[in-house]
Amino acid sequence: MLQIEFVGEQRDRLGECPLWDERRQALFWIDSKRCLVHCLAADGQRRQWTLPHEIGSIALCDSGRLLVALVSEIGFLELDSGAFEPLARVPHPAERMRLNDGRTDRAGRFLVGSLQLAPATSVGELYQLQATGELSIVERGIRVSNCLAFSPDGRTLYYADSLSHQIRSYDYDGATGQASGMRVFADTTALGSGPDGAAMDAQGHLWVALVMKGQLARFAPNGSLERLLDLPTPYPSCPCFGGPGLDTLYVTSLSDTGNTIKTDDPRAGRLLAVRGTGVRGLPEARFADGHSHRRPHPQTE
């Protein structure tokens, strides 16, 4: 039976990028506008860290640190000390831009996209970051970067320009990090919302937050819509699988983006836990930051 409940009383302004850390048995997520990284452990213990700028996304690292994408800088958050160590700076091609959604590929590279604050024009880019700090451009001509995910075998990259309502898929070479063969995977126009954050499940289905409809959509590997879930929050932003069995869907949400969304609805900005979907997720891939903790991903052994 499907069960959906709020987690805690906290109400984020721009909740995003939930990640389950199976080593710590803890959930990380961000409040972008408040420059906060949150952590909720399985035993109920909570922690938070304040960063120097607004946050676009985070990633787990081999070392145990967090990789954090700020407005125009990417670096490491040391969880014990709270110190931020810069790794790379992104040269945005226009004004009023910031980094947004990010995801680590199965080989340990971090992909992160950018956006321009409204009115957004097609100046956003998708970047790929190596552990050396080397930054390359994977895609250009994006208004709002979102929906980054990889298939279980790592050979397909999913990515969206939210304002186009189209989720794209690419052939992805894990050895070289090259993306090619772009095609439209799914179009969410008929669902009444652009796609926001996404999560991949163990069956290769893509779960996508329909931010303007208060729903989660699950797409099959062929792009067909497999199910829709109504959520008790008006603006869900991003899902992830977590919990000891990776069978709980955690979903962040928005209340005041400082840009296009602002609501006094007390359910907005809350963190949700969805159980009983009958689906499990995959362990989150980690950024290969030069430490010796790497373990093969269970789908690529």
Query: Which positions are annotated as active-site residues?
Result: 196
Burial of 79 (0-12, 13-18, 19+ CB in 10 A): middle
Q: For residues 136 and 216, what is the distance between their CA atoms, to the nearest angstrom?
A: 32
Distances (CA, A) of 111 to 58, 131, 155: 11, 12, 14
Q: 99-127: string of b/e by CB count within 10 Å (b at 16+)?
A: bbbbbbbbbbbbbbbbbbeeebeebbbbb
> What order do you get walking across the sheet with 84-89 strand by strand?
57-60, 66-69, 73-77, 84-89
Q: For residues 218 and 224, what is the distance between their CA atoms, to the nearest angstrom?
A: 9
Contact (Cβ atoms closer than 8 angstroms) between residue 183 and residue 168: yes
Torsion of CA 165, 279, 58, 61, to 10 degrees: -140
CA-based nearest residue to 191, from 169, 217, 168: 217
Q: How far apart are the first and last CA of the chain?
A: 33
Q: Which token pair is 282?
A: 């995959």
Q: For residues 165 and 167, what is the distance between their CA atoms, to the nearest angstrom?
A: 7
Per the document, the length of the chain is 301
Q: For residues 162 and 113, what is the distance between their CA atoms, to the nearest angstrom?
A: 12
